[in-house]
Structure 1
Amino acid sequence: MSEPAAISASPEPQPGLRARHALLKRLADVVSLPASRINAFERAVTGDLLVEMLRLAEPRERKRVAMRIAPLAELPNSLARMLLRDDPEIAGLLLDQCASLSDADLVACARDTTTQHRFLMASRRGLSEVVTETLIGFNEPEVIEAVLRNGSARLSQVGIESVVSLSRKSTHLCLWLLRRPELRPSGAYVMFWWCGAEDRRTILQRFAVSREAMQEVSEDVFPMMAAENWADPVARKALQFIERRQRNRAAITKSPFDSLEQAVATAARDGLNREVASEIAFLAGVKPLTGAKIMGDVGGEPLAILCKATGMGRGDLLALWRSMRRPETAADGSPHPDWERVQITYEMLAVDRAQTVLRYWNWSLSSALTPALMKAIRDGEDETADDYSAPERAAMMALAQDFGR
């Protein structure tokens, strides 16, 4: 078995330490012997002796041993444990090259060492969900970005949700999250609220999916529910998400406005106030909380989604934009970038896909906001999120910035 060139070219050891240097090299050679030459117990005992010597060795000696054993398919656990907790320059040799490290080795290393160790580990090939969850759990943006950029790493949905939540404050993570195959619509729709314009466009292009398949398989369920007078709240909520109609027809009978378009036109003429905004939300088939989130969004793209989902035209979108006194033109008379982007968003989405996004927002932002959930939003008690469903976790993430003020 050939040795790395770095070992043979190592500088002459200090006088009086030649025997130690030679013994370290010999013991590393023994640990490196194939299974046909040494059994597991002999390898383990040799590794224990090597650990005892390395505790008092200089960093350059430990580095030589790390370079020697990093390519091994079988490594004494005590030796791996020690070197993984060494200086990052030394531990990094194993983290980068050593294929024999188990998930338990990596998780323990992540928990017992520094941010620099975790950063090096984040780029390791083939990281499992267990390891990436551990790395993400330290909430270190530079480490998390390295994990997201690692195409061979696997992320769990718990890990993805944690990063989505963290991306609210570390928005540069949105770009890398959107490149992960594990990201699902639930996370993308929530992340939409704090993403930049380009990332929002990516979310709508990738995750604004059709509900056609659900509509086809549930077509005969609607008359069943009607016969039961829509008494089952669970099925009713699901069918409200699936159905083709977006507007709340029942709200028209109680509204001071004859239509959604009239409410929008009134807002454009008189300005948008709380009462008119609530009426627009009810007529559009969403909760006031969802409507407030949409109409208070700085970027404006949610307005385009609201208008397209409810069948309102381009003129209605302009009226809604004007109701909030948002600029239509720039100083030079050209279309304002925000207004231009909102119009592009309106044109790029089909009605069915816009409805999917709108209904998911309405579902997630208005789902079971219990006192305990509100406390979790205010206090950032992320551990309670495990007790809630996906939409409730989405509500916590999306509303934390609003209720935490």
Structure 2
Amino acid sequence: MSEPAATSADGAPSPGPRARHALLKRLADVVSLPASRVNAFERSVVGDLLVEMLRLAAPEDRRRVAVRLAPLGEVPDSLARLLLRDEPEIAGVLIEQCAALSDSDLVACAAEAGLEHRFLLAARRNLSEVVTDALLAHHEPAVIEAVLRNTTARLSQPGIEAMVSLSRTHPQLCEHLLRRPEMRPSGAYVMFWWCGPDERRTILQRFAVSREVMQEVVEDIFAMAAQEGWQDPVSRKALQFIERRQRNRAAIEKSPYDSLEHAVAVAASGGLNRELAAEISYLSGIKPLTGAKILGDEGGEPLAILCKATGLSKNNLQGLWRSMRRPETTPDGNGHPVWERVMITYDMFAVDRAQTVLRYWNWSLSSALTPQLMQAIREGDEEALDEYSAPERAAMLALAENFGR
């Protein structure tokens, strides 16, 4: 964008560049005048002239103009567009300091400039949802992490969902996502499956909410639904989520086992197989697919949630743990850290809150699995996430790894 400085015959700088520097400064001063001195049309014309000069100006000249314009309450659009696409050191002056930039200016910069510009934008104060969505659209982990660290930035729920999805392949985002006030239980419960132990503990402590208020306000509706024979699938599904009872009484009547405890005891003595795991899932009031996800989890915390939610004792939990041949001690005889974490999870949870987590997992991991969604999971069709409901999106993300992703 710059051209060589003109020189006189004896090699000394000619007056041209000095005149250019002075002219740039004066024009920038005119743009900076208050509205009482220069109207919007005049300011725009001066801005257009400045743009033409800056295209050929040296970087230092462009930076001086950016510094001069940064404190203004109004900057001509053409000037803002030019300088926001300039080198990061120049664009950064406006990005960091200029309050006059509109969301459209910032979105255009995010879309048309480079990674360094987006990284600078991510740290700008008071970013709106429109701008953060534009920054997140590039799926650049460093930029996304900077946005998440920016406590003054606002995030949309689609933006949060996109980051939850990305966190599966970039787990360093999980910690920052969990600090965001926009994070909701739906996203946290899905992200749980690929989080580390510390993040899992945070999710269970922060997002495992009680259903007590819901139970109070719909208490009489259970009788209404029963009188109707539970024929309405919409209300039946919602009431199943809200009700206090976790175990499936109908499944117990059909089961070859006397109770859930009986099935767990058989597993503890003879080992866990596919059929027994499915039976334990049915007796626990969850689908076999949800049960398989819980029993196959390496961290073990979901197993503690299952036992607490269904009223199983700590001895039952230990029996299930042993049925999967998971270690309780280390080779030197100390308690195995994973098993100790499982027991801590069991102790820290109230039954009602454990049921909330378990039912949400069951709702999102099985109830929403339509044939279309299963096909999307197999194909890794995350581009089509917006076509699905919240539980369907949860299932797609959490189960993708089970289909060779």
Q: TM-score, normalised by structure 2?
A: 0.95
Once the two structures are superposed, residues 284-322 of structure 1 have per-residue CA deviations (whole angstroms, 9 ceiling, x without a partner) of 000011000000101000000000000000000000110
Q: Distance in 2 between matches of 1:13 and 1:158?
A: 57
Structure 1 stretch displaced more, 382-391 or 76-85: 382-391
For 1:318, the equivalent position in structure 2 comes to 318
Once the two structures are superposed, residues 243-267 of structure 1 have per-residue CA deviations (whole angstroms, 9 ceiling, x without a partner) of 0000001111221211111111111
Give the total of aligned pairs. 394
Q: Distance in 2 between matches of 1:14 and 1:193?
A: 69
Task: After TM superposition, give the deviation of residue 213 of structure 1 in Å.
Answer: 0.4
The equivalences for 1:191-230 within 5 A come to 191-230=191-230
Structure 1 stretch displaced more, 55-64 or 294-303: 55-64
For 2:334, the equivalent position in structure 1 comes to 334
CA contact (8 A) 1:367 1:395 kept: no
The equivalences for 1:2-17 within 5 A come to 16-17=16-17
3-state secondary structure, aligned to 2:367:
coil
The 1:382/1:15 distance shift into structure 2, 3 A limit, reads: farther
The 1:267/1:14 distance shift into structure 2, 3 A limit, reads: farther
For 2:162, the equivalent position in structure 1 comes to 162
CA contact (8 A) 1:269 1:323 kept: yes
Counterpart residue identity of residue 285, structure 2: G
Q: Distance in 1 between matches of 2:374 and 2:317?
A: 33
3-state secondary structure, aligned to 1:401:
helix
3-state secondary structure, aligned to 2:28:
helix
The equivalences for 1:3-402 within 5 A come to 16-402=16-402
The 1:13/1:45 distance shift into structure 2, 3 A limit, reads: farther
Counterpart residue identity of residue 88, structure 2: P
CA contact (8 A) 1:13 1:21 kept: no
Q: Distance in 1 between matches of 2:280 and 2:256?
A: 11
Once the two structures are superposed, residues 268-292 of structure 1 have per-residue CA deviations (whole angstroms, 9 ceiling, x without a partner) of 2111111011001000000011000
Counterpart residue identity of residue 355, structure 1: Q
Once the two structures are superposed, residues 356-399 of structure 1 have per-residue CA deviations (whole angstroms, 9 ceiling, x without a partner) of 00000000001332333223323333342222211111111111
CA contact (8 A) 1:118 1:143 kept: yes
Once the two structures are superposed, residues 9-28 of structure 1 have per-residue CA deviations (whole angstroms, 9 ceiling, x without a partner) of xxx98874111111111111
Q: TM-score, normalised by structure 1?
A: 0.95
Mind listing any 5+ residue stretches in structure 2 that lack a counterpart? 1-11
3-state secondary structure, aligned to 2:264:
helix
Mind listing any 5+ residue stretches in structure 1 that lack a counterpart? 1-11
CA contact (8 A) 2:368 2:395 kept: no
CA contact (8 A) 1:377 1:404 kept: no
Counterpart residue identity of residue 282, structure 1: Y
Once the two structures are superposed, residues 215-248 of structure 1 have per-residue CA deviations (whole angstroms, 9 ceiling, x without a partner) of 0011101111111111111110000000000000
Q: Distance in 2 between matches of 1:360 and 1:119?
A: 36
Root-mean-square deviation (Å): 1.3
The 1:325/1:191 distance shift into structure 2, 3 A limit, reads: same
Counterpart residue identity of residue 224, structure 1: M
Once the two structures are superposed, residues 321-357 of structure 1 have per-residue CA deviations (whole angstroms, 9 ceiling, x without a partner) of 1011111001221110000000000000000000000
Q: Distance in 2 between matches of 1:378 and 1:101?
A: 44
